Amino acid sequence: MDSGLSEESEEDKNMVSASSPSFTGLLSTFRTVKYEHLVAGISGGVVSTLILHPLDLLKIRFAVDDGSSNRAPYKGVKSAFATIIKTEGMSGLYRGVTPNTVGAGSAWGFYFLFYQTIKTEKQEGNSRTQLTPTDHLVAATEAGILTLALTNPIWVVKTRLCLQYENKLNTKVDTTRHYTGMVDAFRKIIKYEGVKGLYKGFTPGLFGVSHGAVQFMAYEELKCKYNQYRKQPIDTKLSTTEYLLFAAISKFFAAVSTYPYQVIRARLQDANCTYSGATDCIRQTVKKEGISGLYKGMTPYLVHVMPNICLVFLIYEKITNG
């Protein structure tokens, strides 16, 4: 009886395998997924965000400052910190921290998960297979698009909460766009703007995928070239200092080359947005503020992202490599 059951079970397996090659391929893909990449990405994103959120908040506020809103302008980073603490208290530095933490954790988790899964598929399971810069770029781009589709609603909510600091002299507050927290923001955006309201800034966000793609390509190439220089396999573990150095270099390169999209995305996600779309936003920004308008908030951004990316990549490498 046992023998008969074994034979029947084996036949069933063969039938499924023969009739469903796509199903077999899907199972093969899932077998290559290593969920420690998800955990490592979430850990790095959450820790770095909790530590560095105030700088991210400043970057957003500087980015949307086109001189036409009712919000009090800031003269510089130091002035901005002093003004926020004076008018909003210390808690003002952490407006939007909840969606930012959730967004950063999920975004980094999904990004590393998707990227490593796609990369492993390209390497056919052999971590020592050398991929080309184009391979890294394509893998990072695909991972970025998937991640953006899942997390854009969180970034819209985060941006809205970070920008909720109307001038005290402005007594007219639109209750439909005033949020008490993350859940309330989700509820009101869907109620008054529809689901499409959660995907504002998605188009420039797609351009922003290039940022992550360039960053990962540079990071992977730096690690590979360095190990080749040392005559070591390309997946050889590096020291903490080396991981930090390569993360910083790759992030700086990507940041300088792709930053304008973040200004455009922040302005489109702002509840007080008056632009008809990404193209209109770019046109008006350049017309009124010059090219420098596309780089507003760059200083707090760099001060924020350099230690941020170093923390994320270091935590990720330590968790996944032991």
Domains with residue ranges and CATH for the chain = 32-321 (1.50.40.10)
CA distance 322 to 316: 10
Helices (H), 64-96: 77-88
Record the pTM. 0.69
Tell me the residue type at 274.
Answer: T
CA distance 211 to 62: 20
Q: What is the pLDDT along the chain (322 residues), one digit of tens a residue?
A: 444 444 444 544 454 444 444 445 444 544 556 678 888 889 988 988 888 899 888 888 888 887 666 666 787 888 889 989 988 899 889 988 999 899 889 999 999 999 999 999 999 888 889 899 999 999 999 999 999 999 999 999 988 988 887 654 455 667 787 888 899 999 999 999 999 999 998 988 887 788 889 998 999 999 999 999 999 999 899 999 999 999 999 998 888 888 888 889 888 888 788 898 889 999 999 999 999 999 888 888 888 788 888 888 888 888 887 6
Residue 273: strand, helix, or coil: coil
Angle value at C-alpha 172, between 169 and 173, nearest 5 degrees? 110
